[in-house]
């Protein structure tokens, strides 16, 4: 499976619009979850796997590789995985969605 990139045909877009490329990438199993778990700082593979409910090592490795290739994640000299500046900016954009979801959860408990 090809890694979604702007300007290249992706699921939902024959033209490869940038928004469709990132939605395709983040919509892949575990991609968004891995980024979410890295938002507070770098993690080694096994800890990342544990935080991702023991995701398959093959799938986790694939998602890490894909997101490293497009510049969202990076593998540090320590061997840990972390967010690049671009990855941090992406996760910051998701923070309002996290706030919204928490309010939604509180409201639906009534």
β-pair partners for 13: 10
**Is residue 3 one of the residues assigned to a domain?**
no
**Whether pLDDT at 54 is above 90:** no
Residue-wise pLDDT for 73-104, tens only, equals 999 999 999 999 999 999 999 999 999 999 99
CATH (domain of 94): 1.10.10.10
Average the pLDDT over 7-16 and give the result: 80
CB 41 within 8 A of CB 82: yes
Ramachandran assignment for 23, one of left (phi > 0), alpha (psi -120 to 50 degrees), beta (any other): alpha
The DSSP secondary structure of 50-85, one letter per residue, reads HHTTS--HHHHHHHHHHHHHTTSEEE-TTS-EEE-H
**Is residue 1 one of the residues assigned to a domain?**
no
**Is residue 12 one of the residues assigned to a domain?**
no
**Is residue 86 one of the residues assigned to a domain?**
yes
- Please give the model's pTM, rounded to 2 decimal places: 0.86
As for how many domains the chain has, the answer is 1
For residue 94, the enclosing domain spans 18-108
Q: To 10 degrees, the CA torsion angle through 10, 99, 48, 31?
A: -10
**Is residue 64 one of the residues assigned to a domain?**
yes
**Whether pLDDT at 63 is above 70:** yes
């Amino acid at each position: 499976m090809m890694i979604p990139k702007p300007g290249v045909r992706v699921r939902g877009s024959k033209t490869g619009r940038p928004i469709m490329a990132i939605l395709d990438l983040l919509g892949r199993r575990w991609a968004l979850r891995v980024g979410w778990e890295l938002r507070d700082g770098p993690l080694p593979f096994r800890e990342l796997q544990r935080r991702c409910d023991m995701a398959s090592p093959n799938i986790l490795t694939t998602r890490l590789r894909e997101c490293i290739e497009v510049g969202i994640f990076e593998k540090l000299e320590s061997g840990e995985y972390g967010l690049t500046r671009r990855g941090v900016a992406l996760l910051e954009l998701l923070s309002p969605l996290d706030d919204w979801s928490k309010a939604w959860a509180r409201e639906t408990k009534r």
